[in-house]
Amino acid sequence: MDADVPKVLKGTDICSILAQILYKGVSWNYNPLVFLATETLPGARSGSTASNRSSWSISSRSDSQCSCISCGTSGELKRRPSKVNSAGVKVTDHYRLDEILGEGTFSVVYLAESLAEPGGWAAVKVLEKSSLCKEEDLSFLVAKEVEILSALSHPHIVHLSEVYEDEEAVCLVMELAKGGEVFDRLVQEGHFSEADTAGVIVQLLCAVDHMHKAGVVHRDLKLENLLFYDDEKESRVLVADFGLSDWEWALNEDAPVCGTPGYMAPEVLSGGRVTPSADIWSIGVIAYVLLAGYPPFFPVRSDVDDRSEEEELVDLILKGRYEFHEHTWGDISEDAKDFIRWLMNLDPEARPNCEEALSHHWLNGKIYRRADEGIGETLRSRLAFITGLIALLYCYYHFLTFYFEGKLLSN
C-alpha cells in the first residue's frame, strides 16, 4: 500500500464516444448458466461444487521477478502471500472505504485507507452476494478469481492482499494503481509513440508469460484492464481484472464465449477451444490501438445492410480484415506492423508465445533506444550537477583566497 493520497484519473466524454464502437467496458457471455451450474472449482474435492464451497482456496506461489527495462533497476519485489481472513470479519473493521473507483456487473471498487496504517491506501473490490445469486449462484466465479490471483505474483500483475467475507459480501483487498487505466491516458494523448507502446507491451508480455506458465488464461486483456501504478511518465503497468480468467486445463469447446468483442480472437468468437494464444491476439489488438489511437476492427453500418454492428464486428474479426491506414500508419515503422501481424495471425498455432514475442526486433530496438534515452537524460542531469558543484567549489576557493590575503595584508 502507498503512503501518498492517490490521484485518480477520471474518464472523459471521449470515453463514452469510443464506448459506442464496442471497445469500452462491454463483455459478452453467451448462455453462461449452462456452464456455471455444473462447473467445479479447480482444486475442489470431487463431488463438491464451488457454489457450496465453505472455504476459500489459496494457492501456493513464489514471487516472480521481471527483467524488463521498467523493473531492471527497481530491485527485488517482495510481497506477502494473499491472506484469507476468518469468516464474519468485516473489511470495514480494518479499512475505511472512500470514493468509488469503478463499478462492474457484480462489483464496486472502492478507494480504501488502512485503519492500522493511516495513509496506507488500497483498492477494495466489493462483491455483493445478492448480485451474484440473483438468477443462479455465481459465487464460484469469485472463488476462482481468488484462487487464480493467489497463484500469481508478478511486478506487472495487480496483487491480491486480503480476502474478507461476511453474510452480505466478499471483499478483495487489492494493490492500488494510482495512475488509472492505460485507456484513459490514451484518450488524453490520442496515441502512444512507438517507444512508449513497446514499453507497455513488454511489461504486458512479461505478465502474461507468468500467467501462462502458471496455467492461467486471462481471456479479457484490454486497455481498460491495464493500469498505471502511478502518474509518472515511466510508470509500471499492471494487469488487472481476473474475473473471466480460467485455468487452461478447464477450457474446452463447451466453455462459454466471454470477453470484450473487439479484443477477442477469431477462434474464440467461432466457439473453438480457448488457449493462451487467444491472449496473444488480444495483445496484438492492444498494440494496434496504442499506436493508432483507434481499434483495428471498426464496423461501418450501411443502410442496405441489415446486420447489427456486433455482427459486422464479428465478421471482420473472423476474416481478419484490418488495415494499416496510410494517414495514421505512414510514419510508423514496418517493424511495428510486422509485430502486430505476427500476434494477430488468424491461425492460433502460428502466433508466438510470450517469450517468442518478446524476442521480436521491434520491441528490442524500441526498448533499448528508450533505455538509452533515459540513461542519456540521467547522464546529462548528473553532468549538470557536477558542473554546478565545480563552479561552487571554484567560487568558495576564491572567497577563501581573498579572505586570507586580506588577513595577511591587515597584519
User: How does pLDDT run across 300-348, given as a tens digit for each residue?
Assistant: 765 545 568 888 999 999 999 999 999 999 999 999 999 999 999 999 9
CA neighbours closer than 13 Å in the CB half-sphere of residue 149: 30
**pTM of the predicted structure, to 2 decimals:** 0.74
* pLDDT given for residue 26 in this prediction: 39
Using alpha carbons, select from 168, 147, 175 the residue that is nearest to residue 89. 168
Greater confidence, 246 or 28? 246
The model's confidence at residue 94, banded by pLDDT at 50, 70 and 90, is very high
Whether residue 13 has pLDDT greater than 80:
no
- Classify the phi-psi angles of 180: left when phi > 0, otherwise alpha if psi is within -120 to 50, otherwise beta: left
Judge whether 286 lies within some domain.
yes
**Among 184, 196, 220, 246, the one annotated catalytic:** 220
Strands 160-165 and 83-84: parallel
Give the separation between CA 76 and CA 185, rounded to whole angstroms.
28
Residue located via cell numbers 481471456: 219
Question: What is the length of the chain?
Answer: 411
Q: Assign 107 to helix, strand or coil.
A: strand
Whether residue 368 has pLDDT greater than 70:
no
Count structural domains, the chain: 1
**In sequence order, what are the beta bridge partners of 239?**
157, 226
Give the separation between CA 297 and CA 320, rounded to whole angstroms.
9
Judge whether 372 lies within some domain.
no
Rounded to the nearest angstrom, the gap between the alpha carbon of residue 151 and the centroid of all alpha carbons in its chain is 17
Give the separation between CA 29 and CA 4, rounded to whole angstroms.
38
Greater confidence, 78 or 55? 78
* DSSP letters for 244-260: T-EEGGG--TTSPPEE-
- Classify the phi-psi angles of 293: left when phi > 0, otherwise alpha if psi is within -120 to 50, otherwise beta: left
Judge whether 336 lies within some domain.
yes
Q: Is 338 a catalytic residue?
A: no
CB atoms within 10 A of CB 119: 11
Give the separation between CA 212 and CA 247, rounded to whole angstroms.
9
Give the separation between CA 387 and CA 321, rounded to whole angstroms.
57
Q: What's the CATH code of the domain at 268?
A: 1.10.510.10
Give the separation between CA 125 and CA 165, rounded to whole angstroms.
12
* pLDDT given for residue 255 in this prediction: 83
Residue located via cell numbers 523493473: 71
Rounded to the nearest angstrom, the gap between the alpha carbon of residue 323 and the centroid of all alpha carbons in its chain is 26
Residue-wise pLDDT for 105-117, tens only, equals 788 999 999 999 9
Residue located via cell numbers 496510410: 326
Judge whether 383 lies within some domain.
no
* pLDDT given for residue 256 in this prediction: 84
Question: Which residue range forms the structural domain that includes residue 60?
Answer: 13-359
Judge whether 394 lies within some domain.
no
- Classify the phi-psi angles of 241: left when phi > 0, otherwise alpha if psi is within -120 to 50, otherwise beta: left
* pLDDT given for residue 15 in this prediction: 33
The model's confidence at residue 32, banded by pLDDT at 50, 70 and 90, is very low
Judge whether 191 lies within some domain.
yes
Judge whether 259 lies within some domain.
yes
Judge whether 266 lies within some domain.
yes
* pLDDT given for residue 9 in this prediction: 34
Mean pLDDT throughout 361-366? 88
What is the share, in percent, of the chain residues with pLDDT greater than 70? 68
Give the separation between CA 258 and CA 393, rounded to whole angstroms.
67
Q: CB–CB of 82/143 below 8 Å?
A: no
